[in-house]
Structure 1
Amino acid sequence: MMSDHGIYSRERLLIPVSKPDILVNSTCYIELDTHAKREVAVVYLDGGPDKNLNCLLNRMVTERGKKKVIDSLKRSMHVDDGTAQYYLSISNGDPRAAITQFSEDLRWERQAGFA
């Protein structure tokens, strides 16, 4: 491998283990790799992940992802942050359902003569 890109561009990466017995009775954790932007299997040889760090990283990734979805909804629906957040919340985080509900509300307003 000549660069980090060589690692991240692979669908899978096989790493030889010189002593396979160190993996016996180990727990494999599924985590989000922020660089590869996908889930990966991780084996911690010295116990487990640092719970505080892992929770913080996942929360940061989640908040960043939610912000991107809200920004996308704002552009698609031509609305402000609050409106995009409202429709995302009533659709249980489903952007398509949020847009559908927003469209139905606009249609109702037009038919009722409010718009």
Structure 2
Amino acid sequence: MFVDPPAPRPLDPRETPPKGSTDPLSPDAGRSWEFNPEYQRLVTLWQQVLPLLDDLTASLDKALRLARSPDTWDAPVGRRYVEDLTEWRERLQRYRRAVLTAISDEAADTPRWIPVETGAPHAFN
């Protein structure tokens, strides 16, 4: 049995950005942070893809359940059809695992918070 990889965590309204350094000479002193739009894109993608994959799995499971019923088939072609559906279900599971793992891995490598560019003037620009 396959367990889905961890989903990207959406922004919790109670969540606060990271704290900057208290050292006034540090480059992080007084820096503002925003929730990373690239991370949010991965959260949205996960939320869009997961229901579609669940629908595909449910549809294929229903067809497989009906095909395995003794009331449906009583011929050698029935066994082949069940074998084909079983293979398609395994392929769908591998596809699901690949898609969700790709999103999860990308989310793990993407920072949740990024510094805000304030647009303040700097010397020698």
Whose Rg is larger? 2
* Higher percent of residues as strand: 1
TM-score normalised to structure 2 length: 0.29
Instruction: Name which structure has the greater RCO, CA cutoff 8 Å, separation 6+.
Output: 2
TM-score normalised to structure 1 length: 0.31
